Amino acid sequence: MSGARIEIAASILNADLGALRETVQAAEAAGVDRIHLDIMDGHFVPNLTFGLATVEALRSATKLPFDAHLMVLSPGLWATRYVDAGCESVAIHVEAPDQHRATLDAIRDSGGRAGLALDPETPIESLVPFRDELDFALVMTVKSGFGGQSYRPEAAGRMAAIRKLVGERDGHPLPLHVDGGINATTAGDAAAAGADLLVVGSALFSAQGPTGMGGAVRAIRESATR
């Protein structure tokens, strides 16, 4: 863990898709730091989710930063369009058969923060050729493309090695985001492994009881700071 306050990004993949504006606003009221948007094209991963029109429609619902996670076959065709739609950061997958360096540079030139995501089975060395273009890495602790999967601690455990491989940014360790199975039970492990940002979906939007989503956010923060 870097020592700084760990951020929580609410992934709306498992939210009520019929009331996304209200869902985003509820997440903001619950105390999350960001909104995480999982963009799937039905080709790079089997599922198909929302796209630019949805992002543009949601942008006015909140002042929270938007993070786009592009699980698409050709991220170079789309990445800067998500920056233009209001996403502060865009992560593309290193496994996609595309020209990553040009795409990462284009994201940054467009004013966004550029990241590479990698699945649990992908060698961490795949990030090394692009380390000078990275603003963050998105470490998947589940296989990309499906919500509601169980957290894999061995995938999170690779973060220390990733930091050594990719080095620093502006004198600080490269920020690491973790996505997959994060809840009040697993957040502490992810934080101890080195996460700076936790992407949380099901644990927020399935929260029950009198405290609801706000209680889930607080529990995750407490777990991450123990």
CATH (domain of 134):
3.20.20.70
User: Is 105 a residue of the active site?
Assistant: no
User: Is 41 a residue of the active site?
Assistant: no
The verdict on residue 92 lying in a domain is yes
Q: Which two tokens stand for residue 122?
A: 């992908």
Distance CA 85, CA 57 (A): 9
pLDDT, position 52: 96
Tens digits of pLDDT across the chain (226 residues):
444 689 999 999 989 989 999 999 999 999 999 999 999 999 999 999 999 999 999 999 999 999 999 999 999 999 999 999 999 999 999 999 999 999 999 999 999 999 999 999 999 999 999 999 999 999 999 999 887 789 999 999 999 999 999 988 888 899 999 999 999 999 999 999 999 999 999 999 988 766 899 999 999 999 998 7
Q: How many domains, in total, are found in the chain? A: 1
C-beta of residue 156 within 8 angstroms of C-beta of residue 178: yes
pLDDT, position 210: 65
SS (H, E, C) the chain: CCCCCCEEEEEHHHCCHHHHHHHHHHHHHHCCCEEEEEEEECCCCCCECCCHHHHHHHHCCCCCCEEEEEECCCHHHCHHHHHHCCEEEEEEECCCCCCHHHHHHHHHHCCCEEEEEECCCCCHHHHHHHHHHCCEEEEECCCCCCCCCCCCHHHHCCHHHHHHHHCEECCEECCEEEECCCCCCCHHHHHHHCCCEEEECHHHHCCCCCCHHHHHHHHHHHHHCC
pLDDT, position 4: 66
The verdict on residue 82 lying in a domain is yes
SS (H, E, C) 98-118: CCHHHHHHHHHHCCCEEEEEE
The verdict on residue 1 lying in a domain is no
pLDDT, position 1: 41
C-beta of residue 94 within 8 angstroms of C-beta of residue 130: yes
The verdict on residue 2 lying in a domain is no
Q: Which of 33, 67, 98, 179 is catalytic?
A: 179
C-beta of residue 140 within 8 angstroms of C-beta of residue 152: no
Q: Which of 33, 38, 119, 189 is catalytic?
A: 38
Candidates 16, 9, 21; CA nearest to 57 is 21
Question: What domain range is 88 assigned to?
Answer: 7-224
The verdict on residue 131 lying in a domain is yes
